[in-house]
């Protein structure tokens, strides 16, 4: 306990799934946390869980495609808690799904806005604040699809792959400021974004995902939260520009991700049914 004592973090997409688990984990370890999401109800519930640990937490309704909203979230962290040490660019959607030739241009653009442009904005506005306090940690949720393309998720794969190289490039720029920039590449993690509308719901997804990789269980939001905690803490102070698979060994090529039912369209936030 106390691995993040005195640190202040902003987490996007914190109302559910990996973002919510990370916010709670950060709070348990002593961080003050600004949780952001479009899902106000889920965000406020997550804030209550964070506050129950004894740490400070607040919710900021945020559209990560809005530059003004991202800036406002960073500004709130500094205004309420005095500094910014950790930025976790986590908000995501599956986005445009289906065969590439059937993807609508506007769905491609929406996918890139949520998955890539938002990461740029999170980095852009957190770097100056971290520089003021002598350093910090920027963490982004990429995906195993950013390391190995997934069919019928080409826009998603492209955006997540761009996050990996963006992470490397920005790490070079800000290393002298003691700002570390890394990304996490989850494999099959059983979250509302994945299991909504799936046959058998959460349990059905759990069973199917347990067969995807060498370690025979589905990934859970806490698995990603544990890696984010390490990257946010001083234990990773000499690690930057890296992409970390957290996937039960799926990156070995033991299995291929299968996404039945993704015939086409646009898959939005996890709270939209």
The dihedral sign for the CA sequence 74, 173, 117, 238: negative
Distance CA 158, CA 112 (A): 9
Please tell me the distance from the alpha carbon of residue 140 to that of residue 240, in angstroms, as a whole number.
12
Q: Which residues are catalytic?
A: 156
CA distance 9 to 32: 6
Token digits for 55? Answer: 């740490």
d(CA 59, CA 45): 9
Structural contact between residues 244 and 184, judged by C-beta atoms closer than 8 angstroms = yes
DSSP code per residue over 31-90: -EEEEEES-HHHHHHHHHHHHTTTS-EEEEE--TT-HHHHHHHHHHHHHHHS---EEEE-
Is residue 115 within 8 Å of residue 164, measured between CB atoms?
Answer: no
């Amino acid at each position: 306990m106390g691995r993040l004592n005195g640190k202040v973090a902003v987490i996007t997409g914190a109302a559910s799934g990996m973002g919510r688990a990370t916010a709670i984990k950060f709070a348990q370890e002593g961080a003050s946390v600004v949780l952001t999401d479009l899902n106000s109800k889920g965000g406020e519930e997550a804030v209550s869980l964070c506050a129950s640990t004894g740490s400070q937490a607040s919710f900021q309704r945020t559209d990560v495609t809005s530059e003004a909203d991202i800036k406002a979230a960073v500004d709130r962290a500094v205004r309420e808690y005095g500094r910014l040490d950790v930025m976790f660019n986590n908000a995501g959607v599956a986005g445009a799904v289906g065969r590439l030739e059937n993807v609508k241009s506007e769905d491609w653009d929406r996918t890139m806005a949520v998955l890539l442009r938002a990461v740029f904005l999170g980095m852009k506005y957190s770097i100056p604040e971290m520089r003021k306090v002598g350093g910090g940690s920027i963490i982004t949720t990429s995906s195993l699809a950013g390391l190995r393309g997934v069919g019928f998720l080409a826009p998603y794969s492209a955006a997540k792959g761009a996050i990996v190289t963006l992470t490397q490039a920005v790490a070079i720029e800000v290393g002298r400021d003691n700002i570390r920039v890394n990304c996490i590449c989850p494999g099959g993690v059983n979250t509302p974004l994945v299991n909504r509308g799936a046959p058998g719901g959460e349990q059905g997804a759990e069973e199917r995902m347990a067969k995807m990789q060498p370690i025979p269980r589905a990934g859970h939001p806490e698995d990603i939260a544990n890696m984010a905690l390490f990257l946010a803490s001083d234990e990773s102070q000499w690690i930057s520009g890296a992409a970390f698979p957290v996937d039960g060994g799926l990156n070995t090529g033991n299995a291929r991700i299968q996404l039945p039912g993704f015939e086409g369209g646009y898959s939005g936030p996890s709270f939209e049914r």
